[in-house]
Amino acid sequence: MLLLGRELYRDLPWRRTRDPYAILVSEVMLQQTQVSRVEGRWERWLERFPGVEVLADAETAEVLREWQGLGYNRRALALQRAARELKALGRFPEDERALRSLPGIGPATAAGVRAFAFDLPGVYLETNVRAVFLDAFFPDAEGVPDRQLAPYVEATCPKDASDPEDDPRTWYYALLDVGARLKRTGPNPGRRSAQRSRQGRFEGSRRQKRATLLRLLLDARAAGLPGLAADELEVSLAEFERAFGRTAPSRALVDSILEDLAAEGFCRSVGGLWSA
């Protein structure tokens, strides 16, 4: 596996650092987002928010503007909240439990940070890693849950970093690259995972309308406007939908989306104006 991993190695920019903050950013960006979309954006993010303290102190609207185009805006909010907790902590923890206590960091993200920043072992079950273990150990099974894969992942991961050619960081990079090839060259083994979920169509969906309304609010803030009235947002969203041959949304739907965005911390309403 390591020999094949070296042959297939992808020299991605976040693989050239051991800075845990930079690696955390890459792991969060890569959740449900293709590598090709993250390249360039990761570098730009670090130029704007080069460390935990800068991200923690930034205006949330600025963080969300920088995230635009990556999708799943909740990740940006969670990343900033994690930065604020890390700033208060005064250090970047290596312990799995401490990492998983941070906003937006689940088992896979914690294991990725531990492996790639600190060369520590763990169960890193990312989509490409799943593909490798499903192909090797469950070639004919359907709906394989992570609890069945985890023992194999844990048993094969090197337990220390004493051998730089066979350590957790190198091992998981190899798995990621072999898994990527498996998915390119044949039926994707990852489709047989019980964790696989099919995302609904984005075009015309409520998710797209959320993203459009948030972008309108961020653009208004960048332009120095105090906010936008719900009537203005309704008209702008209707224009966007009609431009793609879709029906204009109802006012009730616009209000419902704005209320959801406000409850999640994306925007607020003051004096009848909505702002990010």
Residues acting as catalytic residues: 27
- Give the DSSP letter string of the chain: -HHHHHHH----GGGG---HHHHHHHHHHTTTS-HHHHTTHHHHHHHHS-SHHHHHHS-HHHHHHHHTTSS-THHHHHHHHHHHHHHHHTS----HHHHHTSTT--HHHHHHHHHHHH--------HHHHHHHHHHH-TT-SSB-HHHHHHHHHHHS-S-SSSTTSSHHHHHHHHHHHHHHHHHHSS-GGGGBTT--PPPP-TTSHHHHHHHHHHHHHHHHHTT-S-B-HHHHHHHHHHHHHHTT-PPPPHHHHHHHHHHHHHTTS-EEETTEEE-
